[in-house]
Amino acid sequence: MPELRKDPILGRWIIIAKERSRRPTDFVVQEQIVKGGFCPLCPGNENTTPAEVLAYGRNPSQPPNSPGWELRVVPNKYPALVIEGGLNKEGVGIYDKMNGIGAHEVIIESPKHEDTFITLSPERLIDVFWAFRDRLVDLGRDPRFKYVMVFKNSGKLAGASLEHSHSQLVALPILPRMIVSELDGSLNYFKYKERCIFCDIIRQEQREKIRVVCENEHFITLMPFAPRSPFEMWILPKKHSSSYIHTSDFAFAALAEIFSETMKRLDACIPNAPFNFVLHGAPLHSEPLEYFHWHFEIRPKLTTTAGFEWGSGFYINPMPPEDAAVYIREAFAK
């Protein structure tokens, strides 16, 4: 079973996922994603993944784990955390650990192997955002879990190990440090101003218009003032909302639209850029929060973080977001 361990100085948790263990020499080669060949995420190969937890689009007369689906969610075959068991916490001298209870799932975004997040049709994309919501709601029923981190790794440099378009989620028994920091920072601002800091950011960005990428009725994409890397972008709902699961039905079409436009603009600037995105929202079981605002953060993987970055917590970004925003706003004009 995986293990959660806490750094006694920083309070940072790490996951020891022994099930994924390798011998030292296995770390040497950073291999590319295998192109072509057998794909466990393609229709017809349903029996090579763990049994699905959700599927859209299959004729109800067909059995689960058979072809005919448009989207499919399955447990990760090499999970970072495992779903079975109780949450045992333990001290080891000055150290703390607990067993690695959680869920690790793969959202297979399309039956078509050649689809990418950038070429997905609006219908497929809307289904992806619905699937995130359905899984958040379902996993939120498990009292052991405090947070579900939804994320995507696209391209080998961004950490993907399979070519077939997919995103992932990890349900966690503790609140991630990054979410705690965002909640704390937002709450401090709210105590001082009685306003949501994200709402204030949206207002300032709409006024200044120098870091806005695009917007529609319900959402806005902007480059943050202090981006960690070139072309970092955030997608936020314009109307205050702390939790993704409170998003209303019609907004998923608008979300699919702006996400698609944002990614197509990025692709026009930097073709086939490897990228990650993450969904940040209020913790599971949380009341609606006045001070927090859910959002997606998108980061193309264009720079290497090295000794300085991990030793300091600083990031060095060679491109001001104001410059990157000009490139991306003019992306379709070229």
Give catalytic residues, as residue numbers.
166
Which of the 8 DSSP states describes residue 85? S
Q: Is 13 in the site for a copy of itself (CB under 8 A)?
A: yes
The dihedral through the CA atoms of 78, 81, 86, 88 has a sign that is: positive
Distance CA 37, CA 53 (A): 26
The residues near 327 (Cβ < 8 Å, ≥ 6 apart) are 269
Strand partners, 298: 233, 277
Among 51, 200, 217, 285, interactor with a copy of itself by CB under 8 A: 200
Using alpha carbons, select from 122, 98, 95, 120 the residue that is nearest to residue 110. 120
Q: Is 243 in the site for a copy of itself (CB under 8 A)?
A: no
Distance CA 308, CA 316 (A): 9
Least distance (Å) between residue 92 CB and a copy of itself = 8
Least distance (Å) between residue 43 CB and a copy of itself = 25
Q: Is 20 in the site for a copy of itself (CB under 8 A)?
A: yes
Q: Is 190 in the site for a copy of itself (CB under 8 A)?
A: no
Among 25, 47, 59, 61, interactor with a copy of itself by CB under 8 A: 25
Q: Is 56 in the site for a copy of itself (CB under 8 A)?
A: no
The dihedral through the CA atoms of 152, 134, 57, 251 has a sign that is: negative
Region from 108-116, 212-220, 242-250, 265-273 binding a copy of itself, contact rule CB under 8 A: 265-273
Nearer to a copy of itself, 219 or 231 (CB): 231
Q: Is 210 in the site for a copy of itself (CB under 8 A)?
A: no
Using alpha carbons, select from 244, 80, 233, 108 the residue that is nearest to residue 167. 108
Residue in the block written with tokens 């290497």: 304
Q: Is 316 in the site for a copy of itself (CB under 8 A)?
A: yes
Among 8, 50, 64, 288, interactor with a copy of itself by CB under 8 A: 8
Nearer to a copy of itself, 137 or 178 (CB): 178
Q: Is 237 in the site for a copy of itself (CB under 8 A)?
A: no
Among 132, 146, 300, 325, interactor with a copy of itself by CB under 8 A: 300
Using alpha carbons, select from 271, 192, 172, 279 the residue that is nearest to residue 236. 279
The answer to whether 14 touches 5, Cβ cutoff 8 Å, is yes
- What part of residues 63-102 is at the interface with a copy of itself (CB under 8 A)? 80, 92-95
Region from 5-13, 109-117, 135-143, 254-262 binding a copy of itself, contact rule CB under 8 A: 5-13
